[in-house]
Amino acid sequence: MIFTLNEEIHLAQCLECLHWCDDVIVVDSFSTDRTKEICEVAEVRFFQHRFERMDKQRNWALEETEPRHEWILILDADERVTPELREELSRVSETADTGVAAYRVKRRFHMWGRWLPRSSLYPTWIVRLLRRGRVHYENVGHGEVHVADGDVLELENDLIDENLKGLEAWLNRQARYALQEARHELRNEKRPIRLEELLTRDPLARRAVAKRLFSKVPGRAAAYFFYTYLVRGGVLEGRDGLMLCLLKSMYQQMIVAMKHELAREQVTSAARPVE
């Protein structure tokens, strides 16, 4: 199940690595490029649905497109399944215990034609293999979280993520994400942080708590750069590593600036006289 919006630059490559799958579903947000034509040539099932939020889009697709198999692999068009991951998917879909609702997978982020594990803080875990009817999504910041009815296990092999749209498109996307993340952080500022979740075996839960703690660090952009570039070793990835660490630090500063603007708007709105 692939989610698209103007993904002609990625879609053919994504579909090519899924030639082994007999039910490929593309859920499109009314693209204006060749996305639909590429799907027709590839003879995959094509649906269009107006995009509101990613959690709603994923839930709609899981409920309305009638997947033909018990296990569903969720992909974005700029992601690719390796041969090793394909073999593992086939194996676990046949042998998984009935108590297992989903599997999480490590995403391997590529930029400028290479994998940058240190600068991208590899591994990043995401839940992508779902048992039909046992998982739904809820909104959190710029992304979504899964809610699973059952156990969530881990896959050994990685999913490749490589966006080919260029830096301008990447920056535009980060600006949208930063605004969504700023709104989410403001809504949750007074909610208590459960430090015990840092000890959980679930990497997604640990990451969520770590993000909340980090959001309160003074000078978070500079702290993020120090952590990714020096502590995690982005410096070892040359100029590409430096650029990615700077870009991701800039994203953190965008969140801070947007939180500041949103907070000021709230104060100004509250101070306006009621007519």
pLDDT digits (tens, 9 = 90+) for 224-258: 999 999 999 999 999 999 999 999 999 999 999 99
Residue 159: φ, ψ to 5°: -105, 130
Burial level of 241, CB count in 10 A (0-12/13-18/19+)?
buried
Query: What's the CATH code, domain 2-162?
Result: 3.90.550.10
Contact call for residues 184 and 140 (beta carbons, < 8 A)? yes
- What single DSSP character describes residue 193? P
pLDDT digits (tens, 9 = 90+) for 34-64: 999 999 999 999 999 999 989 999 999 999 9
- Which element (helix H / strand E) includes 79? strand 79-81
Alpha-carbon dihedral 222, 225, 229, 235, rounded to 10 degrees: -80
Angle of the 238-271 helix axis to the 167-187 helix axis, nearest 10: 40
Q: Give residue 212's pLDDT.
A: 76
Q: Where are the domains of the chain?
A: 2-162, 167-271
